[in-house]
């Protein structure tokens, strides 16, 4: 754009400026001679020769804002609808209205003691707890920035995703509660089905009856059953905080049911600790003859899968299918 034309209408304008002026022509202010004389009385010496400068600059800002708005398509509705609210529940800056639809990009907030419930016919139900903030990215992706989300999902596995500051929770056909604190750390508790936690190359698979923490700097942690021995849960919490000496407490207190915790440990502990984890895992879980200690020491992928299958949970062919790229 020619700057001289912008400030005092000298020089040649570019085509985009001409188009904007033609669009805004019906709203142009027409100054009377007397008005201009009165205005110039208050203009500093030397500035009155270019009375259009400030008006041209203001018009350019307004025209640019209008152009951006005209070029931005309106937000489309998602499949989510508000079913119930309690207390201070907002969509954007407005009070949430029951039966209204959530738009792509809407931010939902609840105050202290407030709640909001959503449903989508083809997806499921979501309840948002007090002091929560949720962004509806698309029909099948939301972002929980903070607070609590309880989800009951009947969409096919892998179709619904909740992003958090520390991980991505992929629904594998389930019901679960997800909490995110002010630091961005989270905790998921699974009631039905499975949830997969993912952050870069770090993955955790959490079955019904289990829970798993996730940290903003490290991603998902190691899942454990809620009924696991207190010694295991305490040792695991300290271990994940960096106390490597707590590994022995995890292994000593583990039950056969806690093989899922040891399976996740197998791929995360340092090489020098992998053998002791595998030995305890093999004591608790009957393994097929194809699984060898040497193979597990080098983290053979096929043997890791066989160890998972030995837990008699979902087969690896099933849960590996969740690993698709989400756009």
Q: What is the pLDDT along the chain (327 residues), one digit of tens a residue?
A: 445 555 556 666 665 665 566 656 655 555 444 444 444 444 455 444 455 555 666 566 565 555 545 555 677 889 999 999 999 999 999 999 999 999 999 999 999 999 999 999 999 999 999 999 999 988 899 999 999 999 999 999 889 999 999 999 999 888 999 999 999 999 999 999 999 998 887 889 999 999 999 999 889 999 999 999 999 999 999 999 999 999 999 999 999 999 999 999 998 999 999 999 999 999 999 999 999 999 999 999 999 999 999 999 876 666 555 554 433
Which pLDDT score is estimated for 64? 59
Task: Using alpha carbons, select from 179, 236, 176 the residue that is nearest to residue 208.
Answer: 176
In angstroms, rounded to a whole number, what is the distance separating the alpha carbons of residues 132 and 88?
11
Domain parsing of the chain, residue ranges: 3-71, 75-221, 238-327
Q: Tokens 């937000």 appear where?
A: 75
Overall size of the chain counted in residues: 327
Contact 193, 177 (CB under 8 A): no
Contact 88, 116 (CB under 8 A): no
pTM for the predicted model, two decimal places: 0.74
Which pLDDT score is estimated for 35? 46
Which pLDDT score is estimated for 308? 93
In angstroms, rounded to a whole number, what is the distance separating the alpha carbons of residues 278 and 297?
8
Contact 251, 222 (CB under 8 A): no
Contact 233, 259 (CB under 8 A): no
In angstroms, rounded to a whole number, what is the distance separating the alpha carbons of residues 99 and 103?
13
Rounded to 10°, the helix 271-284/259-266 angle is 160
- CATH number listed for the domain at residues 75-221: 2.60.120.1440
Q: What is the dihedral of CA 72, 78, 84, 90, to 10 degrees?
A: -20
DSSP state letters, 228-280 = S-HHHHHHHHHHHTT-GGGHHHHHHH--GGGHHHHHHHHTTS-HHHHHHHHHH
Residues 6+ apart with CB under 8 A from 41: none
């Amino acid at each position: 754009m020619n700057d001289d034309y912008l400030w005092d209408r000298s020089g040649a304008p570019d085509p985009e400026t001409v188009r904007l002026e033609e669009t805004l022509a019906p709203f142009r202010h027409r100054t009377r001679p007397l008005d201009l004389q009165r205005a110039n009385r208050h203009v500093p010496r030397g500035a009155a020769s270019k009375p259009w400068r400030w008006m041209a600059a203001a018009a350019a800002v307004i025209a640019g804002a209008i152009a951006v708005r005209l070029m931005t398509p309106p937000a489309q509705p998602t499949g989510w609808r508000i079913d119930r609210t309690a207390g201070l529940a907002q969509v954007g800056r407005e009070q949430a209205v029951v039966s209204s639809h959530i738009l792509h990009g809407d931010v939902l907030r609840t105050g202290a003691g407030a709640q909001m419930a959503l449903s989508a016919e083809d997806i499921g139900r979501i309840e948002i707890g007090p002091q929560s903030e949720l962004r509806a990215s698309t029909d099948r992706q939301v972002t929980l920035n903070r607070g609590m989300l309880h989800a009951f999902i009947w969409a096919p596995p892998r179709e619904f995703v909740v992003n958090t500051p520390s991980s991505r929770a992929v629904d594998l056909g389930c019901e679960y509660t997800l909490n995110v604190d002010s630091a961005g750390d989270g905790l998921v508790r699974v009631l039905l089905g499975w949830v997969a936690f993912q952050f870069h190359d770090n993955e955790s698979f959490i079955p019904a009856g289990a829970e798993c923490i996730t940290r903003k700097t490290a991603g998902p942690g190691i899942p454990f059953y809620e009924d696991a021995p207190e010694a295991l849960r305490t040792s695991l919490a300290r271990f994940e905080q960096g106390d490597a000496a707590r590994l022995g407490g995890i292994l000593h207190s583990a039950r056969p049911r806690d093989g899922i915790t040891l399976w996740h440990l197998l791929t995360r502990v340092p090489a020098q600790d992998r053998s002791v984890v595998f030995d305890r895992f093999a004591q608790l879980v009957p393994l097929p003859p194809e699984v060898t200690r040497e193979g597990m020491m080098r983290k053979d992928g096929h043997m890791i899968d066989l160890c998972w299958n030995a837990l008699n949970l979902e087969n690896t062919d099933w849960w590996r299918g969740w690993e698709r790229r989400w756009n």
